[in-house]
Amino acid sequence: MNYCDLTLATPEENLACDEALLELCEEGLGDEVLRFWEPVQYFVVVGYANKVATEVNVPFCRQQGLPIRRRCSGGGTVLQGPGCLNYALILRIDQSRPLQSVSSTNRFVLERHRAVLGGLLQGPVQTPGPTDLALGGRKFSGNAQRRKRRALLFHGTFLLQFDLALVEQALPMPSKQPDYRANRSHSHFLVNLAVPAPQVKSALSRAWQAAAPLAEIPSERIGLLTRDKYASPGWNLKF
């Protein structure tokens, strides 16, 4: 598996990069990849089918100049920014691996991450929801996938040193929530791990055997996806 530690200049480019890497693998032009990136600015990302007016405090975001963007995968709405480490896995789908369905892929990836983070924290990490990792019943990682015929994108976040108070202001209570949330506010439901990002990157890279540097960044694809999709109000605000 290839390794890529790359944070691009804008939210749109970072979202486009994940999809560009997925497209290359789907077309047989790229290998499996583990990518890391950490935003330098705050912005909101809605899931593919989320309704912006329902899941985002739009007046607050506009007042604060927080961009609202949409990703290509499912899942809920999140606030991104410094202290929130993102990762993306590009994986091939084949009959010999447990990636044949959404649920089996969730189990396969999150169990590996649960074991890795448990080792770093020297304590039990839970998987209380189908796409969450939690510590003491509080969520620190949310995840989602985008599937094609031959390859899939599995990506998510790790809250390390994030401004949780800003989440309360930017996002209302989600329209859908896992049972274990029990209607808790963002500040009582989310938790930072306070683990240095390099440690998380190193541990996950070993777990996925991602050692070979990604030979080439698909800059042209990223640029086209940024222009035609991720910077387009028609995409970002379509629901």
Domain 2-234, what fold? Answer: BirA Bifunctional Protein; domain 2 (3.30.930)
Interval 39-53 mean pLDDT = 97
pLDDT-based confidence at 167, cuts 50/70/90? very high
Distance separating alpha carbons of residues 190 and 220, to the nearest angstrom: 37
**87 sits in which H/E element:** strand 84-92
Per residue in 128-145, pLDDT tens?
A: 989 999 999 999 999 999
Mean pLDDT over each residue of the chain, to the nearest integer = 96
Candidates 208, 158, 197; CA nearest to 32 is: 208
Domain chopping of the chain, boundaries: 2-234
Which region, left, alpha or beta, applies to residue 15 given φ > 0 means left and ψ of -120 to 50 means alpha? alpha
pTM for this predicted structure: 0.96
Per residue in 169-209, pLDDT tens?
A: 999 999 999 999 999 999 999 999 989 999 999 999 999 99
Residues 6+ apart with CB under 8 A from 225: 16, 19, 20
3-state secondary structure of 41: coil
Q: What is the pLDDT of residue 122?
A: 86
Q: What is the pLDDT of residue 60?
A: 98
Per residue in 80-124, pLDDT tens?
A: 999 999 999 999 998 777 999 999 999 999 999 999 999 999 889
